[in-house]
Amino acid sequence: MKNRIIQYKDLGPSQDYKKTWEMQEAKLQSIVDLKKEVRAWEKLAFEQPENLEKIENHTTPNFLYFVEHPHVYTIGKSGDETNLLINLEKLKEINAGYVKTNRGGDITYHGPEQLVAYPILDLANFKEDINWYMRSLEEVIIKTIAHYGLQGVRSPGETGVWLDVGTPFARKICAMGVKASRWVTMHGLALNVNTDLRYFEYIVPCGIRDKNVTSLQRELNRAISIDEVRTLVRNNFAEVFEAELIPLEE
């Protein structure tokens, strides 16, 4: 039985990256453990048919967290550390952290006024296909920035959402990196809203040297309400994933 309900929560600004990562790990593990439990019930159902009801009536939950982080650079498990262009002393000077993660992708930046979304989904409830999942995340952002008159596109072989791909002015507006365990996802996407783009000057963003980074604010030449953007992302998430989003009460 598939559960297309996604419980969402806004964790707010200035959330420590490592603590948020630990929260995701705990949520992912709880879903993985539940999947193992259901499989055990499936085996019992062959010998004890009364256990079949447990399987039919039990589903795994899905979560979507929104957050803003303090200044921090994160690098994926296969990332190239030489793409961090500054030393520890300079990191302290600009008040930024540096974290090695277990997600895919190379180095990126998180900071204030950047909307980060962490979907913790059991893809068994949707489609067990990581390529489909990544393209769906991109579609959520493409629809979101279209609200502001921007044409977001995909860049072949480069995950995320871009503007003016195929021209000398190609630039990324949303970075993505995920991890999945037993088809349960974590990590996610980072959309630059009113982000201080100077922080990207200290890295090779996502390990890509020939393209720049941008934000909604830079493209529109005005500040954008991050609350408004969050609502758009949430609504587009529901549409793209054909899901019902409800507030999470913890």
Query: Among 82, 73, 75, 83, which residue's Cα sits nearest to residue 106?
Result: 75
- Strand 63-67 and strand 114-120: the pairing is antiparallel
**Residue carrying structure tokens 């598939």:** 2
Strand, helix or coil at 132?
helix
Cβ neighbours, 10 Å, residue 185: 25
Q: How many CA atoms, within 13 angstroms, populate the side-chain half-sphere of residue 147?
A: 17
Cβ neighbours, 10 Å, residue 247: 8
Express the helix, strand and coil content of the chain in percent, nearest 5 each. Answer: 40, 25, 35
Kindly list the catalytic residues: 206
∠ Cα 103 108 113 (to 5°): 110
**Residue carrying structure tokens 């979560």:** 63
Q: What is the Cα–Cα distance from 45 to 88, expressed in whole angstroms?
A: 57
Q: What is the Cα–Cα distance from 152 to 46, expressed in whole angstroms?
A: 50
